[in-house]
Every structure is written in C-alpha cells, then in structure tokens.
Homo-oligomer: A and B are copies of this chain.
Amino acid sequence: MFVEPVKSVGLAHLSYVVGHGGQAVVIDPRRDCEIYLEIAEKYGVAITRIFETHRNEDYVIGSRELARLTGASIHHSGATKFAYGETVEEGDTFRVGGLELMVLETPGHTFDSISLVLRDTTSGSAPLAVFTGDALFIGDVGRTDFFPDRKEEVAGLLYDSIFNKILTLGDQTILYPAHGAGSVCGKGMAPRDFSTLGYERMHNKALTVGSREAFIARKVAERHPLPPYFKQMEAYNQEGTPPAVLPLPRPTPFTPEAFEARMARGLQVVDLRSPEAFAGAFIPGSFAFPLEMLSAYAGFFLEYGTPIGLVAETHDQIDMAVRRLVRIGYEKVVCFLEGGLAAWEQSGRAYDTIPAIHADELVRRIEEDDDFVLVDVRDDDEWDAGHLPGAVHAFLGDLPGNLDVDKSRRITTFCGSGARAIIAASILKQNGWTTVEDSLGSMMACQKRGCPIERD
C-alpha cells in the first residue's frame, strides 16, 4: 500500500498516486503525465481510476491525457457540468486492493470540490489519510474569492466542509492537500509537505480564529491575484479539450539570425536565466521569466496564440520550461536560442542591460532625494505590510497598465527578493521606459540593512 506524492514545482501542485494489490488511482494528475506511469510501473500496479478534486483553475488537468494512455476512468463532482468523465457523490466508495477511497463533498473553494478519505481495510476502520484538494492545506485553507457576489456564502461553505466533515475524520488522519507553499491558490501555506488533521486543528492559522464568523470574516478580507490565464484553464478543464501533449514538444535550436527573423514574424521571447544574468545582458523585447518564476507569472503576460521562443543557459532549463508552460496551456514552444545569449552577443546583435541597485544605494538616493522612481511591484498585502518611503506601488501582474510614471524617468523596480523586480524591469523595457534598473535583494536586503520602512 503506497501513497506517492508528485510535486510540480512552480505551481506547487501536489498530485498523488495511491495504490495497493495491483491497482492504483491518480488524484489530480498533471498534463505531462508520464511520471504516473513510471510510479505505477515501480509499484507494479495498473492505473484504473483518476479523480479530480475540483475543476482546477490554475493548471491544465491531465486526466484525459492519462486516461488515453491507461484506459482509466475519470471521476469528479456533478456540481460542475463537465463534458467528460463520471460523477461521484458523498459517500461513494471505491476499493483499490485492500484500500478504500470514500468521497466527501467539501465545497467552498469551488462548489464542486470533493475530498477523498483513505482507509486501509487490512488494518482498521479509522481514516488513515484524506486528500483535500484545495479545501484544506498545510497551514492554510483554500481561497474563496472566485464568486465575488457570494463571498460570505462560499467562505461559510468552506468552514462547514472543514469543521463538519474533514476534521471529524479524527486527529490521526494524515493530510494530503493539492498544493504546497508557493501556490497561487493560497498564501499562508507552510513550507512543509507533511501534517495531520490533528496538527492542523491545533496550529493552522485559518482554523484557529475562534468562530465560524471569524473564519468567514478572515476569508472575505483576503486578496488574491487572479491571473488572466485562469480562464483558459477553466475552459480546458471543464470541456476536457486540451490537445494531447505527449511526447512533449521539443523546441528547435535557432541561430541568432533565425531567432531574430522569427521575432520579426511574431515571437514571445521568454528568457529563463537568473535575474543577474538577465540584468547582465538580454535581448531587447524579451521577457525575464527566471525559471522558478515562470509558472507563477507567465500566465499574466503570455498570449496563447503567439509562439514562444526560449533563451536559456542549459537544456535542463529548456526541458523544465516546456513542462511548466505546457502545464498552463502553452504548447507552442517552437524554438530556443542555440548557444544562448553568448551566441547572440558574438553575432554582434544589440543587447541591453539593467543595472542592479543595492539597498544602501536606494537609501542614499531616498535620503539625498535623487531623481528616480522606486516602483514596488509586490502585491497589496506585501505593500500594506511595509514599503520604502516614496515608493510607487504597481502590482507586477497588472504592469504596465497600472504604472503612471513618465517613460523618461529613471525607474528602479523593487519586490520581495529581486526576482519579480527583474520581470517588472523587462516588462517596462518592452513598453517604452528607457532607463530601468532593478533592486537585487529588494525588501529582504532592505530589512537586513535596516532601511526605513513605512506603512500607509
């Protein structure tokens, strides 16, 4: 009997293979789904069922791709009108060898959210674990802002799902959620992948607020980014229409000359290198999406219709970027710059740079009233928790439309650590701001250096 989590870094998405006695189910598979076949092979089991804990909005679910490869059936709630699969209801029970999965309807994050209770019938009747989807996380609960008109209602639904259903399974129950820290589906998750219902009951900040009312008030007050790509994910996941992606697309190596020519015909250039490397030299017009930021921010900026070309330092980066893009619905990754940026430089083509500004220099400029604009691209909660004096707030995901600063001004982009600042800098450069710097280290460095920090 095994539970094997599969973590998709970037999305911080957790899917699971659960098996016994020659059979297995997969819960919330991702689209590049070979890994489930490999796990099934390792344990000597056939994948016979696939469960979706809800209609996911932040990635393309891989159910249909996996079903094509295995013949497994797909199961999800009837609360959404899915164009494929079979519906399940509260209490439905599925046997997999000696283990049992029972459906709990746990709406709140969405109306169609279900949880799956795992029992080991070979050893006892108590719940052993529960797969909670986006209802309950380690350290937090799911966001409830997808129905702006019914905020209280859905927050209340989530409270009931958690307190009246999930937690009643008992303290001993191991918790397997659909996301870990770093996901856009919740903010307060613990950077840890193991917990139990008992531990969460005692220490999860969202569960220890005292009353149903306090829980609802807390949820209603939350603010979450709503990336535009969610729409595409919802359509894909409801209709079951994403095209087959295996074997994964392999972008073709392009010489600088061919890459430039392709850009002229329409190419979204995604530069996967580190913030420092992008700052050191980059192709004018390209997006800075350091690989570890790609999943979280590409969906705010990239169009689905236009092909994508990559700039990277290693083939590993390219392979990982293709996976991460495919997971959020971008299949048209057509080429990469062979030889990397060095080949571009050596070809004599133009490159641009973004000077890095240290925290001490920021303070000096602020104190000496130098002529520059500090553009803080963090989200509302981060901004409200404290920012540098004189900074302008413009959330990264809404750039450049939300930035009302003259394009001739000297701008320094600023975020939590420097990673979002480089993305912002690349967006501003694309959109006509000419003098753009970024703050490597940003707020973390400022805090260490004791910079002055204000709250509105």
Beta-carbon contact of B418 and A346 below 8 Å: yes
With a cutoff of 8 Å between Cβ atoms, the chain B residues found around residue A226 in the complex are none
Instruction: Say whether A250 faces chain B, with CB atoms less than 8 Å apart.
Output: yes
Instruction: Say whether A1 faces chain B, with CB atoms less than 8 Å apart.
Output: yes
Please pick, from B44, B196, B277, the residue contacting A277 in the complex, using a CB distance under 8 A. Answer: B277
Beta-carbon contact of A126 and B203 below 8 Å: yes
Beta-carbon contact of B274 and A313 below 8 Å: yes
Interface string of A54-68 (1 = CB under 8 A from B): 000000000000000
With a cutoff of 8 Å between Cβ atoms, the chain B residues found around residue A347 in the complex are 441, 444-445, 448
Instruction: Give Cα A438 to B390, complex, Å.
Output: 34
Instruction: Give Cα A340 to B71, complex, Å.
Output: 23
Copies of this polypeptide in the complex: 4
Instruction: Say whether A209 faces chain B, with CB atoms less than 8 Å apart.
Output: no
Beta-carbon contact of A69 and B314 below 8 Å: no
Beta-carbon contact of B348 and A448 below 8 Å: yes
Instruction: Say whether A171 faces chain B, with CB atoms less than 8 Å apart.
Output: yes
Stretch at the interface among A154-162, A185-193, A299-307: A185-193
Number of interface residues of A (CB under 8 A): 91
Q: What is the chain B residue whose CB lies nearest that of A440?
A: B345
Q: What is the chain B residue whose CB lies nearest that of A354?
A: B280
Interface string of A193-210 (1 = CB under 8 A from B): 111111101110000000
Q: What is the chain B residue whose CB lies nearest that of A139?
A: B123
Instruction: Give Cα A418 to B419, complex, Å.
Output: 26
Shortest A5–chain B CB gap in Å is 11
With a cutoff of 8 Å between Cβ atoms, the chain B residues found around residue A44 in the complex are 253, 338-339
Instruction: Say whether A79 faces chain B, with CB atoms less than 8 Å apart.
Output: no
Instruction: Give Cα A40 to B318, complex, Å.
Output: 14
Shortest A72–chain B CB gap in Å is 10
Given contacts A41-B315, A124-B202, A197-B172, contact A192 B418 (CB under 8 A): no
Beta-carbon contact of B441 and A194 below 8 Å: no
13 CB contacts below 8 A, A to B, read: A22-B338, A70-B252, A124-B202, A171-B196, A172-B172, A172-B197, A172-B201, A274-B313, A274-B341, A277-B280, A279-B279, A346-B442, A347-B444
